[in-house]
Structure 1
Amino acid sequence: MKSSDEHNEPIPDSNSLVRVNATLESGVSNEFFVTDDATLDDGMGVLQFSKTDLADGGNLSISRLIPAEDMVISFDPIDNGCLNNLLVLFSGRASLSYAGSGRQMVTPAQGCGFRYLGSPVSFELEKWVEVRSLSVSLPPHRLEGYLDDDVPQFFRRLMGMAENEPCVMPFPVSEEMRVAIEQNIAPGLTGALRQLQLESAALMLITLVAQAMSDAGTQPHPLSSREHRSAQDAFERLKASLRTPPSLSELSRSVNLSDKRLNVAFRELFGGTVFEVLRNLRLEQARTLIERGELTIKEVAWQVGYTHVSNFTSAFTTMFGTSPASYARRLPRRSKADEA
């Protein structure tokens, strides 16, 4: 994409303007202002982006990004002051960094809320991993207007009612929640009806996050250090047995946790349920095996525990945005000198 200063066209209204900087691992960078027809420079990857201004302030953004290399991409709204942000992913994963608040992993099983106070928010993305996302950014008065006097604690912190400093907070995303949101932004409508659809999607996201955090708050007690250690042990057991993993009940018994507490611990530590983490471990290992180039796709699928290649292909494509065969074709061919 060409940066805005390469055009003679006027810069759009700054109230809805977002500056983006994308930098690949190789050092190639691209800075631009976001528009609905945004594309990355040749060789940097695939970007599809749309941003809709909401009626009373704020905006809703839908994006799809596949970086050609490991990438750091930052977003910096211009002249928007404080913004409350909710982010969910439909595929892929990203490590979010903001204003000294540390890093927060965002996955389809774990969304993130953060308070924007004028510094760019950055995401670390992995090569060829397709990241599809929805984000809603609202000024505090707009978010408060959606809520009654009994503001949930999650949103109280997000709006900065107690302090005016950066804040990053994860929230759980169930499969049902993710599917409902994605269905509610499906294309097809245009004009005023599309605007109404996206306004509704913003409200839905706020409602579902409030519900998810309310459910999370019903846990009888936070995870203990013993439970954390047990979950780490369970994680290592899964990694060591990808082809023939234990069932959830077998795994939880082996580390002396209930099924429910093990799933709670996995969500907190690894961003998903035991099943979701197992799937991700299998597919990450599959990608490594494909990159080594020593096995066929069928052999890779069997090695990581998939009996049917079609199921493996579907899962791999969903996670990485490309089929195993296409991923293998994109890899540079090793010379005999490299193999020696």
Structure 2
Amino acid sequence: MTITISQQAFDELWKETRTNGTSHYPDPGDQFDLMHKFPQPLGRGYWREIQLREGFNLTIADYRVCDRLMIEFSDLDTTGIEYHFHLSGQTQCRQTNLEAGKYGVYGRGIEIESLGDISAREPFLEVIIEMLPETLHSLAGNPDGEIPKELQHLVRSSEQECYCRDGIATPAMQTVAKQIIQCPYQGIAKRVYLEGKALELMGMLLAVETEIQDGESNPHPLTGDLVDRIYYARDILQQRLDNPPSLRELARLVGLNECTLKQGFRRVFGTTVFGCLHGYCMEQAWQMLQTGTWKVGEVANMVGYKDLTAFGRAFRKKFGIRPRDCIKKFSVLA
């Protein structure tokens, strides 16, 4: 079954939900952190909104719709820059098709007509970061607050058509999004932590946007064959965690020169060859430690670390906790 609803009716359901007394503050010491129930006629779950500072907001959406939900939007207005990170669930909206491991970026502007299509097949988990143009101007790093030309497409006039794009999140992006959802703090510590993570994620995304805009004038765009070779190189790295090939060997295995391989990783995955490998190693280590099946030293060896101290240092830098604490944390939850 499919539920089709207009934008006005959808907004009315949300308004009713927010005023019926079910919203609450999950962190009693933070009046800028408010959790709303998802409208019950449509599904179950919550929508948590955190204002980090004026013009910079974070939202965590965790819900499941009862049936496939189609929302008919008209004159959709984006007042700032939005980044939507999907950790699970599938939706099509605003010229983007998002699922687990993908993200959507939307600049300021309008979209005349749009149809939102939210699947009911699996739970929906998403991290949304919203930044007003004035906030981005304040971070520009120059007295005039001028935004580089490579990013000006994100802050077009509010009367212009908005910029929309979806992409595949890098392992580093996925890690930070998960850290936001799993924030272990409360009060001011929570706010500082979440603002830092949101800015970190925003920085990664702006770097990718800059590279994409630079690449549009590149006389040597990525071809389908080249992209396939880049993905093949990543697969080789993931299959050989305990003994990864050198950059030269990896380039030879996929039939590319080292320079093309390095540039290809930057443009396809938004990170270096080593960064991609490191991010995947840490993700695998996290997942293995959660099971409680292996000791820390065994996990370190399986992801290519011979030095246990180096592994512990890298793990803590990535996730903010020690490997053995990861085991304890999830054994308690179990």
Give distance in 1, aligned partners of 2:294 and 2:168: 39
Give distance in 1, aligned partners of 2:295 and 2:169: 37
Residue pair 1:3, 1:31 contacting (<8 A) in 2 also: no
Corresponding residue for 1:51? Answer: 52
Q: 1:168 aligns with which of 153, 165, 169?
A: 165
Give distance in 1, aligned partners of 2:209 and 2:37: 32
Paired residue type of 1:247: S
- Per the TM alignment, residue 146 of structure 1 is displaced from its structure 2 partner at its CA by 6.2
**What is the SS of the residue equivalent to 1:331?**
helix
**What is the SS of the residue equivalent to 2:278?**
helix
Corresponding residue for 2:56? Answer: 60
**What is the SS of the residue equivalent to 1:306?**
coil
Report Cα offsets for 1:99-143 as digits up to 9, x if no partner.
241128889xx99454475999x99659xxxx8x9752238xx99
Q: 2:81 aligns with which of 71, 80, 85?
A: 85
Alignment of 1:1-340 (within 5 A): 5-6=20-21, 29-31=45-47, 34=49, 49-53=50-54, 59-61=55-57, 71=62, 81-85=77-81, 99-100=93-94, 101-103=96-98, 112-115=105-108, 135-138=130-133, 152=149, 155-156=152-153, 159=156, 164=161, 167-168=164-165, 212=211, 215-217=214-216, 219-332=218-331
- Per the TM alignment, residue 161 of structure 1 is displaced from its structure 2 partner at its CA by 8.3
- Give the 3 Å change call, closer, same or farther, for CA 211–307 of structure 1 in structure 2: same
Residue pair 2:91, 2:97 contacting (<8 A) in 1 also: yes
Unpaired runs of at least 5, structure 1: 10-15, 35-48, 54-58, 74-79, 176-200, 336-340
Residue pair 2:98, 2:104 contacting (<8 A) in 1 also: no
Give distance in 2, aligned partners of 1:300 and 1:283: 10
Give distance in 1, aligned partners of 2:168 and 2:287: 30
Unpaired runs of at least 5, structure 2: 1-16, 25-31, 65-75, 139-143, 173-198
Percent of residue pairs bearing the same amino acid type: 21
Residue pair 1:171, 1:209 contacting (<8 A) in 2 also: no
Tell me the C-alpha RMSD between the 2 structures: 5.6
Residue pair 2:151, 2:210 contacting (<8 A) in 1 also: no
Give distance in 1, aligned partners of 2:145 and 2:23: 40
- Give the 3 Å change call, closer, same or farther, for CA 171–309 of structure 1 in structure 2: same
Give distance in 1, aligned partners of 2:271 and 2:100: 11
- Per the TM alignment, residue 254 of structure 1 is displaced from its structure 2 partner at its CA by 1.9
- Give the 3 Å change call, closer, same or farther, for CA 210–243 of structure 1 in structure 2: closer
Residue pair 2:109, 2:161 contacting (<8 A) in 1 also: no
